[in-house]
């Protein structure tokens, strides 16, 4: 029989489906036909396969070859099918046994010299394959680290096509088994000790880290807004194994993993430049959308430095992502959803001239208002902590003792997070910021005087309904940091102070 089949995966965003690749080899004018809506890169697989087979010391079947990728009605893109195509073809020609192909998913692009190149999206592809019931996987060796996160499927890495063929024939076993040790530890993030002064901003940073709240830093240039924001990831706890998988999957689809950082083990820090496009920020692209900065910052920090320069259009695309924790893109080839549960940090100047001291500002009130008006009300409403930086008055570090280091603050943050996680563990929420407003109000009511403060704010129009919910969340975080069981009126007042509109 000159028929054989193998399996690969087509990804649609973070999800996908198994693709069965059938090969039919018959006598006829030699040539390869590819069926199943291949794109340009996949069409070129014919030439890559030929060169790779011959340069792996194999013989190319000089016969009429038909390769079909099913489901045939769905567009297939990219070069990740190369390995599955070539194995199906050689099996159909009787050059390798076909038995092992039945429950193995094959991923990888072929180089002309017969090496296997890394492809994007290996981790989500293996999740799809596992769901489809496949038990073995062969991936390019560079992607072995991310692939080994998937349990319940036996993964091996291949360096060359010849290794895979050797394994199929049972003649050699050059395939690489995954090992845990080849994950390099992440580089240490910058330390909080480097920041001079700014007690309020430091405190806000600690609260933000403890509760997962969004943060805005307003201040003159050179007061350390960016420095502080960059130090936020250092305060966050390491990702759990489940979170590592989620974040690595997004980065894998985005093609942001590299051989020296094959896994994302620490909360990611993403800081797009303010000239970024909407598509780069939230994701986009033709055909099927690719993940943007908000998804790469999933479970990490998204810093928008010089936030006012981003312009309202780009900033406002963040609003739904902030609320829902994911983004959905509808494009020609389907709707994709990417996770985007990030912590937003906005850093901005108070006005265009931004002198070191506020009193020296030479902007007209209209200019100031216009500058700040670029940060829309609905966006700011979602920012829980707004802090004005102090002007720096002395470079001396010893004015009030040595500044605290990241390690010290992280300790407190970890304790507060632990309290919160324990409290919400039944409902499965991670941080205070994740708790839905209704649940917070109904199931965890506060004292009468604490609620009275919020009511007064609502009546006076100082906060919105959502703002009140967000205040409650910050108040819980403040209580967690102070080791109290329940926020009191002071915590609510402090939370209200943090979102004071006048600061903005």
Partner 1 sequence: MAYLESHRLVVLSRNWRCAEGELDIVATDTRRLIVVEVKARSSGSFGPPERAVTQRKIARIRAATQAWRREYRISHCPIRFDVVSVFWPPSGSPRLHHLRGAF
User: Closest distance between partner 1 and the C-beta of residue 306, in Å?
Assistant: 57
Query: At 194, phi and psi to the nearest 5?
Result: -75, -15
Closest CA to 405 of 202, 201, 186, 185: 202
Of 30 and 356, CB closest to partner 1: 30
User: Closest distance between partner 1 and the C-beta of residue 43, in Å?
Assistant: 14
User: Closest distance between partner 1 and the C-beta of residue 91, in Å?
Assistant: 22
Rounded Cα distance between 80 and 86, Å, is 11
Report residue 11 as tokens.
Answer: 């990804």
57 interacts with partner 1 by CB under 8 A: no
- For 392-427, give one letter per residue: b (16+ CB within 10 A) or e: eeeeeeeeeeebbebeebbebbbebbebbbebbeee
Instruction: Give residues with Cβ within 8 angstroms of 217, minimum separation 6.
Output: 201, 204, 225, 228, 229, 345, 346, 347, 348, 387, 389
User: Closest distance between partner 1 and the C-beta of residue 62, in Å?
Assistant: 5
* Number of neighbouring beta carbons within 10 Å of residue 501: 13
Of 28 and 221, CB closest to partner 1: 28
User: Closest distance between partner 1 and the C-beta of residue 52, in Å?
Assistant: 16
Report residue 241 as tokens.
Answer: 């194994």
Which residue of 8, 9, 13, 27 would you call a contact of partner 1, by CB under 8 A? Answer: 27
User: Closest distance between partner 1 and the C-beta of residue 121, in Å?
Assistant: 34
Of 66 and 248, CB closest to partner 1: 66
Report residue 246 as tokens.
Answer: 């989620």
Q: Cα 185–229–359 angle (5° rounding)?
A: 160
Q: With CB under 8 A as the contact rule, which of the stretches 21-29, 295-303, 320-328, 371-379 interacts with partner 1?
A: 21-29
Query: At 200, phi and psi to the nearest 5?
Result: -65, -45
Of 12 and 65, CB closest to partner 1: 65
Report residue 222 as tokens.
Answer: 């050179």
User: Closest distance between partner 1 and the C-beta of residue 64, in Å?
Assistant: 8
User: Closest distance between partner 1 and the C-beta of residue 34, in Å?
Assistant: 14
Rounded Cα distance between 270 and 190, Å, is 15
Q: With CB under 8 A as the contact rule, which of the stretches 9-17, 25-33, 78-86, 159-167 interacts with partner 1?
A: 25-33
Of 63 and 430, CB closest to partner 1: 63
DSSP string, 48-79: HHHHHHHHTTPPP--SEEEEEEESTTS-B-SS
User: Closest distance between partner 1 and the C-beta of residue 113, in Å?
Assistant: 19
DSSP string, 294-334: HHHTTTSEEEEETGGGG-HHHHHTHHHHHHHSEEEEEETTE
Of 30 and 102, CB closest to partner 1: 30
Q: Are 46 and 12 in contact (CB under 8 A)?
A: no
Task: Tell me which DSSP letter residue 486 carries.
Answer: S
Three-class secondary structure of residue 16 per DSSP: strand
Q: With CB under 8 A as the contact rule, which of the stretches 27-35, 223-231, 373-381, 448-456 interacts with partner 1?
A: 27-35
Which residue of 15, 47, 62, 151 would you call a contact of partner 1, by CB under 8 A? Answer: 62
Of 64 and 227, CB closest to partner 1: 64
Instruction: Give residues with Cβ within 8 angstroms of 417, minimum separation 6.
Output: 210, 237, 431, 480
Q: How many residues does the chain have?
A: 504
30 interacts with partner 1 by CB under 8 A: yes
Q: With CB under 8 A as the contact rule, which of the stretches 26-34, 122-130, 148-156, 394-402 interacts with partner 1?
A: 26-34
Kindly state the number of chain residues that form the binding site for partner 1, as judged by CB under 8 A: 7
Of 27 and 398, CB closest to partner 1: 27
Of 26 and 466, CB closest to partner 1: 26
Of 112 and 482, CB closest to partner 1: 112
Of 31 and 311, CB closest to partner 1: 31
323 interacts with partner 1 by CB under 8 A: no
Closest CA to 77 of 9, 154, 143: 9
User: Closest distance between partner 1 and the C-beta of residue 31, in Å?
Assistant: 8
Q: With CB under 8 A as the contact rule, which of the stretches 28-36, 68-76, 367-375, 413-421 interacts with partner 1?
A: 28-36
Closest CA to 49 of 193, 174, 165: 165
Which residue of 29, 40, 73, 330 would you call a contact of partner 1, by CB under 8 A? Answer: 29
Three-class secondary structure of residue 184 per DSSP: coil
395 interacts with partner 1 by CB under 8 A: no
64-93: which residues touch partner 1 (CB under 8 A)?
Answer: 64
Rounded Cα distance between 359 and 380, Å, is 25
User: Closest distance between partner 1 and the C-beta of residue 84, in Å?
Assistant: 25
Q: With CB under 8 A as the contact rule, which of the stretches 24-32, 109-117, 246-254, 378-386 interacts with partner 1?
A: 24-32
28 interacts with partner 1 by CB under 8 A: yes
Q: With CB under 8 A as the contact rule, which of the stretches 29-37, 147-155, 374-382, 486-494 interacts with partner 1?
A: 29-37
User: Closest distance between partner 1 and the C-beta of residue 260, in Å?
Assistant: 41
User: Closest distance between partner 1 and the C-beta of residue 44, in Å?
Assistant: 17
Rounded Cα distance between 175 and 164, Å, is 7
| CA distance to 6, 279, 297, 482, per residue, from 32 (Å) | 17, 37, 43, 70
Residues that bind partner 1 (CB under 8 A): 27-31, 62, 64
């Amino acid at each position: 029989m000159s028929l054989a089949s193998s399996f690969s995966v087509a990804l649609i965003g973070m999800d996908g489906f198994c693709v069965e690749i059938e090969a039919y080899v018959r006598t006829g004018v030699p040539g390869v036909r590819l069926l199943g809506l291949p794109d340009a890169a996949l069409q070129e697989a014919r030439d890559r396969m030929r060169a790779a087979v011959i340069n792996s010391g194999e013989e190319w079947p000089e016969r009429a070859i038909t390769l079909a990728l099913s489901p045939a009605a769905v567009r297939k893109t990219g070069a990740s099918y190369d390995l599955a195509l070539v194995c199906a073809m050689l099996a159909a020609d009787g050059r390798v046994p076909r038995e092992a192909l039945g429950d193995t998913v094959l991923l990888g692009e072929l180089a002309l010299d017969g090496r296997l190149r890394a492809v994007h999206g290996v981790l989500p592809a293996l999740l799809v394959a596992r769901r489809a019931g496949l038990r073995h996987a062969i991936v390019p060796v560079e992607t072995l680290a991310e692939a080994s996160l998937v349990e319940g499927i036996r993964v091996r890495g291949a360096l060359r096509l010849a290794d895979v063929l050797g394994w199929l024939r049972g003649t050699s076993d050059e395939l690489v088994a995954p090992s845990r040790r080849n994950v390099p530890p992440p580089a240490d993030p910058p330390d909080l000790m480097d920041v001079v002064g700014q007690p309020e901003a430091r405190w806000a940073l600690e609260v933000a880290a403890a509760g997962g709240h969004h943060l805005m830093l307003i201040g003159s240039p050179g007061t350390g807004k960016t420095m502080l924001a960059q130090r936020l990831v250092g305060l966050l706890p390491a990702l759990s194994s489940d979170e590592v998988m989620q974040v690595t999957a997004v980065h894998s689809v985005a093609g942001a993993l590299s051989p020296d950082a094959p896994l994302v083990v620490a909360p990611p820090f993403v800081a797009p430049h303010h000239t970024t496009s909407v598509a780069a920020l939230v994701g986009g692209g033709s055909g099927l959308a690719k993940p943007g900065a908000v998804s790469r910052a999933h479970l990490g920090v998204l810093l928008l430095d010089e936030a006012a320069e981003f312009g309202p259009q780009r900033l406002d695309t963040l609003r739904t992502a902030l609320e829902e924790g994911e983004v959905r893109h509808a494009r020609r080839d389907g709707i994709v959803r990417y996770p985007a549960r990030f912590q937003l940090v906005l850093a901005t100047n108070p006005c265009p001239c931004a002198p070191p001291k506020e009193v020296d500002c030479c902007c007209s009130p209209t200019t100031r208002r216009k500058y700040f008006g670029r940060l829309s009300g609905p966006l700011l409403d979602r920012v829980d902590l707004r802090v004005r930086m102090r002007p720096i008055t002395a470079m001396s570090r010893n004015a009030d003792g040595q500044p605290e280091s990241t390690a010290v603050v992280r300790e407190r943050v970890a304790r507060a997070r632990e309290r919160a996680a324990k409290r919400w563990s039944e409902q499965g929420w991670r941080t205070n910021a994740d708790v839905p407003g209704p649940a917070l109000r109904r199931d965890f009511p506060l004292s009468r005087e604490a609620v009275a403060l919020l009511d007064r704010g609502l009546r006076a129009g100082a906060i919105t309904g959502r703002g009140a919910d967000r205040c409650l969340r910050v108040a819980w975080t403040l209580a967690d940091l102070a080791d109290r069981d329940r926020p009191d009126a002071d915590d609510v007042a402090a939370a209200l102070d943090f979102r004071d509109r006048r600061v903005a």
